[in-house]
Amino acid sequence: QVQLVESGGGSVQAGGSLRLSCAASGATDVRNCMAWFRQAPGQEREGIASISSDGSISYVDSVKGRLTISRENAGKNIVYLQMNSLKLEDTAIYYCAFVGGRLYMPRRCRPQARDFGYWGQGTQVTVSS
């Protein structure tokens, strides 16, 4: 059973930066994908970025240039989300997700919620003016 724990959320002023972390314990699948999603109040969950076990990265257009996803492998399966130039509209609960398996194809890694079977509990990011 994979368990995901996010950390690093908090309150920041517009223009500031935060770095989120997510550690996946119990994840033994070498072939996998980890991703970040967010959900603002009253809105649907939105995929932000994904990174596969072989390092392939995908972003949604709205965050390109401001948010950067990265990960540690070597059996750790830790993913990061560096968020710079934060805007008021970045306020949301940020979730980490994981999918993997012996037959999983890393080239399929995209921040699409329907593809992921394991989710973290979320961490709140609040951006104020």
Q: Examine the pLDDT at 89 and tell me if it is beyond 90.
A: yes
Q: Identify the pLDDT of residue 75.
A: 62
Q: Examine the pLDDT at 119 and tell me if it is beyond 80.
A: yes
What is the band of 80 on the pLDDT scale with cuts at 50, 70, 90? very high
Q: Identify the pLDDT of residue 26.
A: 87
Which residue, among 57, 61, 129, 59, has the nearest Cα to 91 in the 3D structure?
129
Residues 6+ apart with CB under 8 A from 3: 24, 25, 26, 118
Higher pLDDT, 54 or 20: 20
Q: Examine the pLDDT at 74 and tell me if it is beyond 70.
A: no
Residue appearing with tokens 């109040």: 41
What is the band of 40 on the pLDDT scale with cuts at 50, 70, 90? very high
Q: Is 90 helix (H, G, I), strand (E, B) or coil?
A: helix
